[in-house]
Structure 1
Amino acid sequence: MNNKKLTLLGIIAAVMLAAAIFQTRLINRPPDASGEVSHLIQGLETDSIGSIEVKGKSEEVILSRSGNRFVVASKDNYPANADMISDLITVCLDIRSAELITDDPANHADLGVTEETADLVVRFFDKGSKLITGLVVSEADPKKRTRYARLITNEDVHLILYMPQRDASPIYYIDQELFVVNRDEIESVTVELPSESYTLKKIDGNVILEDVPDGKKLRDEKIHDQVFNALAGMRFDDVMKQGNADIDLKFDKTFVCKLSDSTFYTLQVAVKDEKTFIKCTAEFADKRDITKTQGLVESQEVLNEKEAKLLARDSTENFAEDHAGWVYRIPQNKAQYLTKIVVDLVTNIEEQQPEE
C-alpha cells in the first residue's frame, strides 16, 4: 500500500472519529451546572389560560375557555371533560429536562421537534389569544421510553423523562359516556317505530314482552334483554349542535326507558347511511313536593328516601339541561338495539308432535 493510499485512509478515519465524537457529545451532553432536573415550562398560571391548541400527526383540537370551563371548538363548543383538560395541563407542566441535547435548529428535524416531524405540539394562549408558552414533543423511543422536547419559543432541545401518550383528537377531550344507568333500576322500555310499537317490562327479574303475538315466544338468544339494557353503558362517538346536524336526519323513532325512581329517559332516533343519531332528554315523573312536617321526627330510612329522591330529581334536571340541543352519533353495537322490531325478538313456538 503506497503513501497516497495511507494518507487517504488516514483522512477518512479522522473524519469518522470526528463524527463519532460529535454524535457522542450530542447525545450525552452533560446536564445543567446545577445538576438538577428542571421543568421545561415554569411559572404558568393555569387561571390565565384562555385556550389550548393541541396538534398531532393527523389531527388537532382547540380547547377554548368558556366561563369556568373549557369547550371543544371543532365540536360546536361542546363542553370538554374537565379531568382531561387538567390531565393535559399537568402532563405538560411535569415535563422535565434530563439533558440539554442541542441548541442548533439544524438538528430539530432529525430529533423530531419541528412542527412537521413532532408527535405532539401544544400551545397555551392567554385570554387575549396571545401565546403564553408551548411545547414541541417528538415521538417516543420504543426501547428507552424517552422523547425529545423543546419550548415553542426556544431552540434548545432536551431529552425528557417518559411522557404518557396524549391524543389530539377532539373527541378525546369529551366525556363520551352518555347514560349512567344501573340495569337493576330499569323498570320498562318502550320502542315506538313508524310501523309498530312494543313494551318490555321486568317482572321477578325477568324481561318480558307485553302482548306477545300468538304462536310466538321470545328468542333464546335473549335479544330482548339487549334492547331492555341498551342505555346501560351507552356512549357516543360524535356530537353536533342540533342546528348544525344534517337537515336530512329524520327522527321518526322513539326509545323510552323508565327507571324505578320515576326517571324517564326519552331518545328520538334517526338512522341514515347505517349510522344512528339521537336526541335525548329526561324527566322526573314524581312531581310530589318533598317536605318535612314541623315537629315530626322522621326515621333515618324516610330521610334517606327523601334524599335519594332529591338527588335523582336534580340529576334528571341536570341531564335534560346538559343535553338539550345536541345530536349524538351512537356506535352501532348499541344503536342496533334502539330500533329492533318485534319480529327480531320472537320466534315460532314449536308444536309438540303427537306420539305414535
Structure 2
Amino acid sequence: MKSTLKLLGVLGILIALYFVVQFTTDRGRSKSFRSELVQIDTAAVTKVQIKAGGEQLVMEKEAGKWKVNTATDKKVAATSSSVKGALNSLMSVKPSRLVAKDDSKWKDYQVDSAGTRVEVFEGGEKTLDLVVGRFNMEGQRQFSTYVRLFDKPEVYSAANFMGASLSTNSASYRNQQLARITKDSVYQVTFEYPDSAFTLSKTDGKWLLDGHPADSANTAKYLQGIAYLSNRNFADDFNPIGSPLYSVTYLVKSGNPLKMEGYVPNGELVVRSDSNPEEYFKDAALSDKVFKGAGYFLAR
C-alpha cells in the first residue's frame, strides 16, 4: 500500500512538473516570438515608403493609379504589377526563428541604420513599419533575410524572403518596355534616317532589302533583339523639341504597327516607343540595337 501511494505521489509530481514546463514555455514563447510580422490588406494600401542608404523611394496611389518619385523627386507612373510584386514580397515575410531579443545584435544582422526601412500605409494609417536586414544563405537552396519591426527589439530570420526585392531605385517600378512583338509576326521594317531610308520586307518566307536579298541570319538576329526590348535608363530630364532624327516602323501580322523614334539632344541618343509612349530612354546601346544601317542587312 505504501509503495502504491509512493508511486502515485511520484506520478503526481511528474504531472505537475509537466504542466509547469508547458505553461512557462508557452508564456515565454508568446512574449518573445511573433508568428506574424506583416498584416496588411494589399488591396487597401495607398502608400509605400522604402528608405535605404540615405535614399528614399515613395510609391503613392493617386486617383487609382500608382506614382513613384524619381531621384530628382519627379512623380512618374509606376506599374501596378511592380507595386503588387513589392507588396506580395512583404506578405511572404514569415518569421521562422527568433535570433535576437534585444538591440545588441542589430548591427550583426544589419537591422540597424544599415537596414532597409519599409513603411506601408492604408489611407492615413501606417499598417507596417519593417526593417529589412542582412541576406543569409542556409545551405545550397535555402535562404533567409533578417528582419524586425521598427519599434520592437526582436530580430527574426524570415525564411525564403529576398530583401533585395524592395529596391529604392524607381526604375524597378516603372514601365521599362520598348517593344513586345513576336519575331516571326514581323513582315516589314522601315528605317528612316536623316541621310537615308530603306525597307526590309518578307516575301515568300525570304527577307529582301529594297528588293534585293538580305542576310537572313542578321535579320533574324536583329528582330530577336527587338522582340522583347526593355531598358532601365529613363531620360526624365528630356523634353522633345522638333521631330526625331531617326525612326523605325515595324509592321506585324494581326497587330498594330510599332514605331520607335530617336532624338539626339546634345549628341546623346534618346529613344521613344509607341509601345510605351509616356517614357523616354537615354542609352547609347539602343543605337546599335534599334537603328541599324543598311549594310548590316546586306547579303554577303
- Band of TM-score, shorter chain: 0.7 to 0.9
SS in 1 for 2:85: helix
Change (3 A) 1:39 1:335: farther
Aligned to 1:26: none
Instruction: Tell whether 2:248 aligns with 1:255.
Output: yes
Q: Is the 8 A contact 1:50 1:64 kept in 2?
A: yes
- CA offsets 1:141-163 (integer angstroms, 9 cap, x no match): 23463332111222222233331
Q: CA deviation at 1:278?
A: 1.6
Q: Which amino acid aligns with 1:342?
A: A
TM-score (norm 2): 0.74
Q: Is the 8 A contact 1:32 1:99 kept in 2?
A: no
Q: CA deviation at 1:72?
A: 2.1
Q: CA deviation at 1:327?
A: 1.3
Q: Is the 8 A contact 2:235 2:270 kept in 1?
A: no
Q: Is the 8 A contact 1:219 1:345 kept in 2?
A: yes
Q: CA deviation at 1:229?
A: 5.3
Aligned to 1:312: none
Equivalent residue for 1:69, pick from 65, 69, 73: 65
**Equivalent residue runs for 1:1-356 within 5 Å:** 32-33=29-30, 38-42=35-39, 44-57=40-53, 60-74=56-70, 76-115=74-113, 117-118=114-115, 120-128=116-124, 131-143=126-138, 145-164=143-162, 165-168=164-167, 169-212=169-212, 218-219=214-215, 222-228=217-223, 231-240=226-235, 244-245=237-238, 251-261=244-254, 263-271=256-264, 276-281=269-274, 323-329=276-282, 332=285, 335-346=287-298
Q: Is the 8 A contact 1:250 1:271 kept in 2?
A: no
In 2, the alpha carbon distance for the partners of 1:146 and 1:186 equals 45
Q: Which segments of 5 or more consecutive residues in structure 1 lack a partner in the other structure?
A: 1-29, 282-318, 349-356
Change (3 A) 1:185 1:68: same
Q: Which segments of 5 or more consecutive residues in structure 2 lack a partner in the other structure?
A: 1-26
Q: Is the 8 A contact 1:71 1:80 kept in 2?
A: yes
Change (3 A) 1:339 1:94: closer
Q: Is the 8 A contact 1:188 1:202 kept in 2?
A: yes
Q: CA deviation at 1:66?
A: 2.3
Identity of aligned residues (%): 15
Aligned to 1:305: none
Q: Which amino acid aligns with 1:259?
A: V
Change (3 A) 1:173 1:331: farther
In 2, the alpha carbon distance for the partners of 1:80 and 1:201 equals 37
The count of aligned residue pairs is 267
Aligned to 1:313: none
Aligned to 1:289: none
Q: Which amino acid aligns with 2:295?
A: V
In 2, the alpha carbon distance for the partners of 1:36 and 1:113 equals 17
SS in 2 for 1:38: coil
TM-score (norm 1): 0.63
Q: What's the Cα RMSD here?
A: 3.4
In 2, the alpha carbon distance for the partners of 1:68 and 1:182 equals 32
